[in-house]
Amino acid sequence: MKATWRWFGPSDPVSLDGARQAGAAGIVSSLHHIPDGEAWHDDAVRLHSDLIRAAGFTWDVVESIPVSNDIKVRGPLWHQHIDNYKASLAAVAAAGVKVVCYNFIPVIDWARTDLRYPLPSGLALRFDLTDFAACDLFILERGNAAAAYDAAMLEQAEQRFRAMSPERKAQLEATVLAPLPGGTIAYSRKGFMETFARYEGITEDDYRATLLDFLREVVPVAEEYGVRMGIHPDDPPINLFGLPRVAGTSEQLRRIVSGVKSPANGVTFCVGSLGVRAANDLPAMVHELGPDIHFAHLRNVKRESATIFHEAEHLGGSSDMTAVVFALRREELRRRAEGRHDSDIPFRPDHGHLMLDDVDKAGTRPGYSAIGRLKGLAELRGVIHGFDLAVRQGLSV
């Protein structure tokens, strides 16, 4: 497994030199200054690639080339944005990048209700469905929002909202509408409502069909250029705002991979996202989806209840990270025996805790501080080393 590090570009407070000191061997990055739907041109990609190469790294994964709302809802710019996506794939391939991670989550790319939840190990990201519902119902006041929740949740959300201070209400709204770290869209309340209206009424089958239409267009181009695309699971993998999410279970991921059969169509295996659902057997999912896993996000979550989770330490939480890593290493050995050129699966330590000197450091993105990820990467490299040592000694793992 190749240890990589997410780098947000020259403005990232964690430098490429810092990534090297943390133990990374490759870089995961994107062109965050280009708006969703626009084409990435060769010159811009080459400039970014040159920065990474000058620091002694390879650019292993693009995370991500964003999928625009016009693509997700087949809007008036669908054809133009599809063509731009194909051009972007060609540009990153010309720069030597072989893996593109993307998501197909409606409206907002991720959802959290607290970005600095205190734990003994530092400050963590957290999601509480009651807080989320309170925001949806009583702060955003989304029309027909009540239809998305059962009676018990409606009552709990109202009680939670009434107990909130004005400061907490403002903080919660900003957190729910916050863009994915590095994302290009930060919604105002008005902007969110306008975008949501474009999705309203879409069913799960409709949304999956649109995803597969997108893949039928772009996967042949990715295959032509030797690029492997990996869909990131929904984060979290539950329906929010009453909208369907289609990439959160083994069945859903299987339908995506089988819907457009190609070595260029696969999965980004995110332990944290998939681990939110207790029914997901993560090592079994690696075994099933293994040939189509092109990239891995290794982070862990602690399920506090059926509706609450927080980002845990990498080897803590509710998922058996060691079992997942061992399953990924077995998949790599299988690929090597098969003679696949992509036998090494790039991974990155995702969403470290904010801790020690990073707590007050300006510009740090939630989940992407230096020390928390350094700690996680060190632990994960230890697990990988333990697997390899056991294999060399002929032990069963």
Cα angle: 262, vertex 268, 271; to 5 degrees? 145
For residue 119, what pLDDT is reported?
96
Residue 397 within a domain = no
- Residue (of 251, 248, 255) closest to 269 by Cα position: 248
Cβ neighbours, 10 Å, residue 163: 9
Instruction: Provide CB contacts within 8 A for 143, sequence distance 6+.
Output: none
Buried b (16+ CB within 10 A) or exposed e, 191-213: ebeebbebbeebeeeebbebbbb
Residue 282 maps to a domain: yes
Same domain, 79 and 175: no
Q: Which of 270, 310, 314, 353 is catalytic?
A: 270
**Among 232, 294, 314, 353, which one carries the catalytic annotation?**
232
Q: Which of 117, 149, 187, 368 is catalytic?
A: 368
Instruction: State the pLDDT at residue 344.
Output: 96
> Under a CB-based contact definition with an 8 Å cutoff, are residues 172 and 128 in contact?
no
Structure tokens at 138: 């009583």
Kindly give the residue spans of alpha helices, DSSP state H, lying in 241-369.
Answer: 250-259, 271-275, 282-289, 321-338
48, 294, 351, 353: the active-site residue: 351
Q: What is the pLDDT of residue 187?
A: 85
Tell whether 187 and 130 lie within a shared domain.
yes
- What percent helix, strand, coil does the chain show, rounded to 5? 45, 15, 35
326 and 190 fall within a common domain: no
Contact 242, 144 (CB under 8 A): yes
* Backbone torsion region of residue 184, taken as left when φ is above 0, otherwise alpha when ψ lies between -120 and 50, otherwise beta: alpha
Q: Within this chain, do residues 318 and 173 fall inside the same structural domain, yes or no?
A: no
- Domain range for 307 is 2-109+202-392
> CA-CA distance, 218 to 214, in Å (whole number)?
6
Reading the block at residue 344, the tokens are: 């090494």
Which one of 314, 350, 353, 358 is the catalytic residue? 350
pLDDT of residue 397: 83
Domain boundary pick from 146, 174, 194? 194
Residues 152 and 175 in one domain: yes
Same domain, yes or no, for 311 and 386?
yes
Kindly state whether residue 219 falls inside one of the protein's structural domains: yes
Task: Based on the fold, state whether residues 287 and 318 are members of the same structural domain.
Answer: yes
Question: What's the number of domains the chain is made of?
Answer: 2
Q: Are residues 216 and 363 in the same domain?
A: yes
Whether 368 is catalytic? yes
Q: Which of 194, 226, 248 is the last residue of a domain?
A: 194
Q: Are residues 166 and 257 in the same domain?
A: no
Q: Check residue 387 and give its pLDDT.
A: 96
Q: Determine whether 270 is an active site residue.
A: yes
* CB 245, CB 105: distance < 8 Å: yes
Quote the CA–CA distance of 163 and 350 in Å, as a whole number: 33
CATH number at residue 374: 3.20.20.150
CA 225 to chain centre: 24
Catalytic residue among 297, 310, 314, 353: 297
Q: Does residue 381 lie within any of the structural domains?
A: yes
The pair phi, psi for residue 29, each rounded to 5°, is -155, 175
Q: What is the mean pLDDT of each run of 10 residues along the chain (397 residues)?
A: 96 96 97 95 97 98 96 97 98 97 93 96 97 98 95 98 98 88 75 94 96 98 98 96 96 98 98 98 98 98 97 97 98 96 96 94 89 98 96 89
Together in a domain, 359 and 288: yes
Residue 138 CB neighbours (<10 A): 17
Q: Give the pair of three-digit tokens for residue 124.
A: 């963590």
- How far apart CA 247 and CA 254 sit, in angstroms, is 9
- Strand order across the 308-312 sheet: 114-119, 122-128, 308-312, 300-303
The answer to whether position 372 is within a domain reads: yes
Of 194, 223, 240, which residue is a domain's last?
A: 194
Q: Is residue 348 part of a domain?
A: yes
User: Within 13 A of 331's CA, how many CA atoms are on the CB side?
Assistant: 26
